[in-house]
Amino acid sequence: MKIIIKYQPEDFVVRERATISLLDRGPYAVYLMTKRGRNTLDALREAAKFWGIPYSNCAYGGKKDRWGVTTQWVTIKGGEPKELELKDLTFNFKGYTDRQMGPDLIEGNSFKLCVRKLSPTEAKAAVEQAQNVARNGFINYFDDQRFGGYDATQGFLAEKLLKNHLNGTIKAFIASTRPDDKAGEKERKAYFETHWKDWRKCLEKAKTNFEKRAFTRLMNDPKAFQVLVNDIPREELTMAVSAYQSFLWNETVRNLLVDRGWAGPSYPGVAGDYIFFEDLSARDYHYLKDMNIPHAAAKALMTDKVIGKVYEKVLAAREINPAMFNKMKTRTVFFKPIPRKVLVKPVDLQAEFADDEVYSGKRKLVLEFFLPRGSYATMLLKRVFASETYSQEVPLSADKALSEPDE
């Protein structure tokens, strides 16, 4: 079933918890920033402009969802304490600290979520599933927002880079469509897809500085892909690598559940179904709850032989071998084997349903809980509303064309 959340920002409330040592004086002012209906970066830019300070003075731990009411810790370098209260954006001064805010200071987030337009039967079942999640936790998949730049037609940019498919890398960077692309952008990228390698025609439709530089250079040197790869902004490459590592991590866990016969209900995702377990033996559950799997990298060491074989199978299915991670045609980004817990258990989860004041005759589910840093509240919701049993022997890959030769 399709989950209806964020009908209004107040349906998705997040409050960040962080370990910050507050001081009477210090080089950084500490604020609690509360925003409604805007992303973290835009909110900080707006505050910096209002106060007349450099945006680079602002620091945060994590980007919070745009479609919600979120409160998070931020620091601003130097200056006197300032209060700010604009429409849908407030900064409350809390003191000083001796270092800027960063991801390592985040403990986790408290959530209050509302899911709407449920039938009485669906609402009752959702509460039961939420109670199951409170007892057993849920698989800590990377959620769809991690794959915001992924286009199934183009494939994963980082995978093409690993395989030294430089033409495909540039094509994925320029022609991949995103969910938030406007109609004009989608049309332009579709034009590039149709006329790829006719650089003169592509240049006629080029809009961004990168597109103009790329097509102009390729008109003069059709083999200039390596130069263009080096010209991709580091932040964009980092996001592409992160998305691909997240996908491989998800694939490893998906395949593990299928191979071990643990696959239960599932929920569709942008880059593959999210497969969960229903009932496990005490031994299997203990094995899963203590498991950490590292991100794919040259020196990624799996915790045991079972996971190692699954990981090898996932890489082989993508035509990847570990040595490729150290041979990318760029040194600006790297694949790091950061471990990630497979199972997450929410803290103090409460679930109840009531009449939906928005959709007449329907019910709403209200959930309150705390999650540690790095896990997704939306994934908890997908576990609660997952349906049917995953019956395929091997999970489907996110895209059908695993490789393409460079011409």
- Report pLDDT for 395: 44
Closest CA to 135 of 404, 401, 397, 343: 343
Q: What pLDDT is stored for residue 37 in this prediction? A: 87
pLDDT at 375: 93
3-state helix, strand and coil shares in percent for the chain, rounded to the nearest 5: 40, 20, 40
Q: Give residue limits of the domains in the chain.
A: 9-109, 155-234
Instruction: Return the H-helix or E-strand segment holding 294.
Output: strand 292-294
Q: What is the pLDDT along the chain (407 residues), one digit of tens a residue?
A: 667 777 888 999 999 999 999 999 999 999 999 999 889 999 999 999 999 999 999 999 988 888 899 999 999 998 778 888 888 999 999 999 999 999 999 999 999 999 999 999 999 999 999 999 999 999 999 999 899 889 999 999 999 999 999 999 999 999 999 888 999 999 999 999 999 999 999 999 999 999 999 999 999 999 999 999 999 999 899 999 999 999 999 999 999 999 999 999 999 999 999 999 988 999 999 999 999 999 999 989 998 999 999 999 999 999 999 989 988 767 678 899 999 999 999 999 999 999 999 999 999 999 999 999 999 999 999 999 998 765 554 444 455 444 444 54
How far is residue 249's CA from residue 139's CA, in Å, rounded to a whole number? 12
Which option is the CATH number for 9-109: 3.10.250.10, 3.40.50.300, 1.10.150.120, 3.30.2350.20? 3.30.2350.20
pLDDT at 83: 83
Alpha-carbon distance of 182 to 184, in angstroms, equals: 6
- The DSSP-derived string for 205-254 is H--SHHHHHHHHHHHH-TTTHHHHHHHS-HHHHHHHHHHHHHHHHHHHHH
Q: In terms of Cα–Cα distance, which of 163, 205, 145 is closest to 172? A: 163
CA 165 – CA 50 distance, rounded (Å):
45
CA distances from 364 to 6, 124, 358 (A): 12, 10, 9
Please give the single-letter amino acid code of residue 13: V
Helices 305-317 and 234-259 pack at an angle, to 10 degrees, of: 120
Angle made by CA atoms 194, 329, 237, in degrees to the nearest 5: 65
Pick from 62, 51, 142: nearest CA to 101: 62
Q: Residue 38: what pLDDT?
A: 87
**Residue 400 identity (one-letter amino acid):** K
Q: What are phi and psi of 101, to 5 degrees?
A: -65, 145
Predicted local distance difference test score (pLDDT) of residue 391: 52
Q: What integer pLDDT is reported at residue 401 of this predicted model? A: 42
Residue listed under structure tokens 């991100």: 295
Residue 405's pLDDT is 47
Are 332 and 91 spatial neighbours (Cβ–Cβ below 8 Å)?
A: no
What's residue 387's pLDDT?
Answer: 85
